[in-house]
A and B are shown apart, each in its own frame.
Chain A
Amino acid sequence: GAVVSQHPSWVICKSGTSVKIECRSLDFQATTMFWYRQFPKQSLMLMATSNEGSKATYEQGVEKDKFLINHASLTLSTLTVTSAHPEDSSFYICSASPSGLTSPEQYFGPGTRLTVT
């Protein structure tokens, strides 16, 4: 149980274009999903917290107009990187916290490798 999927697993795009990454909880409902990015040999950096049916909460320093997050259902959140630039190249990982869970475990997706050329 507690499986989270991400699509695509990797994507290459040209500078200036937008890319959408999907995060799905496959066998549970998730009121809250989280988006992280990870640079090589570094820790996971929380970008934003996504709550179903409401606006995402962004961490300090993360541009909300650049990283658009939509959490339209209890099993799907999307991250759209708008007007991507080479510095946006990174490994993006989502996680989901099952609704009603009494502890803060998060279950992570397999990640999406974004390369902007």
Chain B
Amino acid sequence: DQQVKQNSPSLSVQEGRISILNCDYTNSMFDYFLWYKKYPAEGPTFLISISSIKDKNEDGRFTVFLNKSAKHLSLHIVPSQPGDSAVYFCAASGNSWGKLQFGAGTQVVVTP
């Protein structure tokens, strides 16, 4: 039962433009959401997170938006850079502290 869904397996964006990655979840008990970036044959790298008491969190080029009523969050990367080409995972945590449920990932390719 996939509780965290990333329905877009891939995204191609031009360098300098905005990348928007989407994530939906089904479990209303989730109260903390995270985005990770992963290169092949490496472990995921933490990017940004958001608590359910907020609807936006910003860190440099990365902004995460949370819409609790829609059970939807998104990650905006602007401007996109070639080094942003990677797989991005959305993750959620709920009442089992520390356990993360991951989405399937979205492969982002930033083209020159």
Contacts and interface: CB of A to CB of B under 8 A. Distances in A.
Interface of A: 2, 4, 6, 32, 34, 42-44, 46, 49, 91, 93, 95, 97, 103-111, 113
Indicate the member of B41, B44, B51 with the most A CB atoms within 10 Å: B44
B46 to A, nearest CB: 6
B59 interface: no
Contacts of B99: 34, 46, 49, 104
Contact of B100 (A4, A46, A111): A46
A43 B89 contact: yes
B80 interface: no
Interface string B15-47: 000000000000000001010100001111110
Given A43-B104, A43-B105, A91 B41 contact: yes
A104 B100 contact: yes
A104 B42 contact: no
Interface residues of B, number: 22
A44 B32 CA distance: 18
Contact of A104 (B32, B89, B103): B32
A104 B41 contact: no
A107 B46 contact: yes
A111 B40 CA distance: 10
23 contacts: A4-B43, A43-B89, A43-B103, A44-B44, A46-B100, A49-B98, A93-B43, A93-B44, A97-B98, A103-B32, A104-B34, A104-B97, A104-B99, A105-B34, A105-B49, A106-B46, A106-B100, A107-B46, A108-B36, A108-B46, A111-B41, A111-B43, A113-B41
Contacts of B102: 43-44
Given A43-B102, A103-B32, 16 more contacts: A32-B98, A43-B105, A49-B98, A93-B43, A103-B51, A104-B34, A104-B93, A104-B97, A104-B100, A105-B49, A107-B46, A108-B44, A109-B43, A111-B42, A111-B43, A113-B41
